[in-house]
Amino acid sequence: MHAVKTVLAWGLWLWIALVIAGALWWAPPLTGFVGGGESSRIVFFHVPMAWNAFVAFIIAGVASAMYLKGRAPRRDAAAKAAVELGLVFGVLATVSGSIWARIEWGAFWNWDPRQTTIVLALLFYAAYLALRAAVADHETRRRLAAGYAVLGLVVAPFLFFIAPRIAAFSLHPEPVINTEGEVKMDPAVLAVLVSGSTAFTALFFWVHSLQCRLAAVARRNGLEA
């Protein structure tokens, strides 16, 4: 079993390396961007980071709902780990997006709806960790945190998908799937984008499982955070 896990881990790192290589050298630059479109290569990293932040926050909400149903501490630990990883991915998405904005729009921050809503999501889930840190009793902390994360099942989809689309303006380029419901993108670009999103999602689940295992060890030793 250990050998299988080792092979899978190395396979994942090779997969990510190939995605990076494809993003930098194989996929053609997109049209309509400054500098011949080279800045568009940030999209291959920015989009997977934002996607995984959303996935992490949804998993946190689902795990929290399962905790409220069965009161299993491992569900609470899974939710906490997911929020922590979601914040990491969300910060990476924000930073990469800001770098791209500086190149394309002339400033790191432009009050674009997508910039604003992802920061609001980060603040919402940072408050989740602050709530956990403010409550000493284990059971009370788990219950309050779980209720907060379940609320995120509504907040996260709204901030990531609904609010940016109902905003009065947006500087962001047209989404991958446009208003006609068709994918209008070079096949190589689409292949790298989908592969990258899938690879980083696999990375998320791998690191999340490691965090959950570490949390289980901490609980057995009375060191629960």
pLDDT in tens, 91-134: 999 999 999 888 888 888 888 888 899 999 999 999 999 999 99
Chain-centroid distance of CA 50 in Å reads 5
pLDDT in tens, 36-82: 678 888 888 999 999 999 999 999 999 999 999 999 999 999 999 99
Residue 31 has a pLDDT of: 73
**Domain range annotation of the chain:** 41-220
Instruction: Give the pair of three-digit tokens for residue 6.
Output: 């080792």
CA distance 186 to 11: 26
Taking alpha carbons only, the member of 201, 199, 189 closest to residue 14 is: 199
> Does position 206 have pLDDT exceeding 90, yes or no?
yes
pLDDT top residue among 147 and 170: 147
Count, residues in the chain: 225
Residue with tokens 């840190």: 133
How far lies 122's CA from each of 69, 100, 206, in Å? 26, 19, 22
pLDDT in tens, 160-176: 999 888 876 666 765 54
Tell me 124's DSSP state.
H
* Pair 26, 188: CB distance under 8 Å: yes
Taking alpha carbons only, the member of 182, 56, 173, 57 closest to residue 114 is: 173
Residue 181 has a pLDDT of: 46
Residue 49 has a pLDDT of: 95
pLDDT top residue among 225 and 33: 33
Of the pLDDT bands very low, low, confident and very high (cuts 50, 70, 90), residue 183 is low
* Pair 22, 198: CB distance under 8 Å: no
Instruction: Give the pair of three-digit tokens for residue 135.
Output: 């409550």
Instruction: Give the pair of three-digit tokens for residue 120.
Output: 């609001």
